[in-house]
Amino acid sequence: MADNSGYCRRMRLEHPRLTERFGAVRIHELQRVIELDSGSDRAEGSGEHTLTSQIVSSAAIRGIERELAIVIPCMNETRRVIEGVLSGIPHDCLIILVSNSQRAPVDRYEIERQTVEQFCRLAERPALTIHQRDPGLAAAMKAAGLPELLDDDGLVWNGKGEAMLVGMALAALSGRHYVGYVDADNYVPGSVNEYCKAFAAGLHQADSPYAMVRISWHSKPKLKDGRLFFSRRGRTSEVTNQFINRLIAEYSGFGTDVVTTGNAGEHALTLELGMRMRLAGGFAVEPFEYVDLFEQFGGVLESPHPSVMVDGVMVRQIETRNPHFHDDKGESHVHDMRLQALNVLYHSPVCLPPVREAILEFLVTQGALAPGEEPARERTYPPLSTLALDRLLDGLTTEATSFRQIEGRLAAGILMDPPIPRPQPMVS
């Protein structure tokens, strides 16, 4: 639907200098954002490549945003901060809030829902909200064919990976083609905006229907000696990235540093890819994305999706300009994240013995494992392609009392479009 307004905003990125391949998985080296706002398109919807940079046209960015759902996993975050995050999400993206906040003594989810609703009313845009521990959601998931998602209490397991999975299922139901994740505890709306634009720019540049964009933060401010210190390297990330790179290097015989986004909280992907991927529970979810890609499409094990092998899987890593300010979750949180990351690497069938040994050694040295002990196995879930989306929708609308479809100014039909066609069966 063309306008004649003609004044648009492009995003300018560095050229990625090298690409590492692991079977059909192509991982681009980190690209920095040069300008948040790179002026207007010169000609009809054109991007540009110059000697110094790539420009993704605003037309292209908007094209993606209209098909992009942004999932915000949220847990006991303040109203103000949530509102800030919402204000940073580009208008054309669909907001999907997945909450695991307390329901009693204060129903914090209800406050969150109202916050989203108020914002959407002012901003004239739609959203979906749901609570992760809603019994109706669990029942709907079970009926739709994903009983593995339920714990011993018959509710969806707690955990970030599980929240992301629920979010992706809702994105699939909405009919949008891309899903992105932004954490709710982000104090800088401008960075939220930048992540979403980077998602769109990176996804637009995809040369395959199976694509992912992972964000690396420019810096993460930390309190040190009573001042803010803008740390460039997260503690968890360093270790996770190191071992993912080692896993890759063990095959090629060449050391690599290509992966810098092993623990990327903020990332986006095409649903064509996402619905075929297995997700891990808890904090293992983000590094396990790499592991699952290597297992399914790395050419080491037989791929369940030969068509994907032909097109390949594109992974872009984009370093944003804004610093990432979020809640300081503390040492034990970091420890857990690192541990879970290494657990999933260790147990992967594509992880070769020398790397396994290195992981064991590291964990023992860190005191996280007793000598001779095996790392724990993290929970992983089947791909969402196994879900019967029509039954999921039924269950949600009839039983999930926390589920809300917030209308925007847009015509009805934006939400709950006919579900996208189910991807090819696991074995073709």
The DSSP symbol for 355 reads H
Q: How far is CA 393 from the centre of its chain?
A: 22
Q: How far apart are CA 140 and CA 296, in angstroms?
A: 28
Give the shortest CB-93-to-a copy of itself separation in angstroms: 9
Rounded least distance, CB 316 to a copy of itself, Å? 19
In 10 A of CB 384, how many CB atoms? 26
Two structure tokens written together for 238: 């360093």
CA distance 388 to 275: 12
Closest distance between a copy of itself and the C-beta of residue 418, in Å? 24
Q: Which residues bind a copy of itself (CB under 8 A)?
A: 2-10, 12, 14, 33-46, 50, 52-53, 57-59, 61-63, 80, 84, 87-92, 119, 121-125, 187-191, 193-194, 197, 218, 221, 223, 226-228, 230, 321-323, 325, 328
Dist. CA 227–CA 231, nearest whole Å: 12
- With residues binned 3-state (H G I as helix, E B as strand, rest as coil), the percentages for the chain, rounded to 5, are 40, 20, 40
CA-CA distance, 374 to 155, in Å (whole number)? 29
Nearer to a copy of itself, 106 or 122 (CB): 122
Question: Closest Cα partner for 417 from 395, 401, 398, 393?
Answer: 393
DSSP string, 218-241: S-EEEEETTEEEEESS-HHHHHHH
Nearer to a copy of itself, 257 or 328 (CB): 328
Question: Which residue number, 84 or 382, has a Cβ lying nearer to a copy of itself?
Answer: 84
Min separation Cβ 62 and a copy of itself, Å: 4
Residue among 2 and 411 whose Cβ is closer to a copy of itself: 2
How far is it between the farthest Cα atoms of the chain? 68
> Is the distance from CB of 345 to CB of 242 less than 8 angstroms?
no
- Report in angstroms how near the CB of residue 42 gets to a copy of itself at its nearest: 7
Nearer to a copy of itself, 371 or 413 (CB): 413
Least distance from a copy of itself to the Cβ atom of residue 160, Å: 22
- Supply the minimum distance, in Å, between the C-beta of residue 190 and a copy of itself: 2
**DSSP string computed for 261-282:** -TT-SSEEEEHHHHTTS-EESG
Contact 392, 400 (CB under 8 A): no
Of 36 and 388, the one with the shorter C-beta distance to a copy of itself is: 36
Which amino acid does the sequence have at 359? I
Task: Report in angstroms how near the CB of residue 408 gets to a copy of itself at its nearest.
Answer: 10
CB of 14 to a copy of itself, least distance (A): 8
Nearer to a copy of itself, 7 or 254 (CB): 7
Which residue, 8 or 212, is less far from a copy of itself as judged by CB?
8
CB of 185 or CB of 292, closer to a copy of itself: 185
Tokens of 252: 């090629």
CB of 29 to a copy of itself, least distance (A): 17
- Of 175, 181, 141, the C-alpha closest to 261 is 181
CA distances from 136 to 117, 132, 151, 216, 363 (A): 21, 10, 14, 36, 40
Considering the complex, state which of residue 14 and residue 250 has its C-beta at the smaller distance from a copy of itself: 14
Q: How far apart are CA 392 and CA 401, in angstroms?
A: 14
Phi, psi of 210 (to 5 degrees): -115, 95
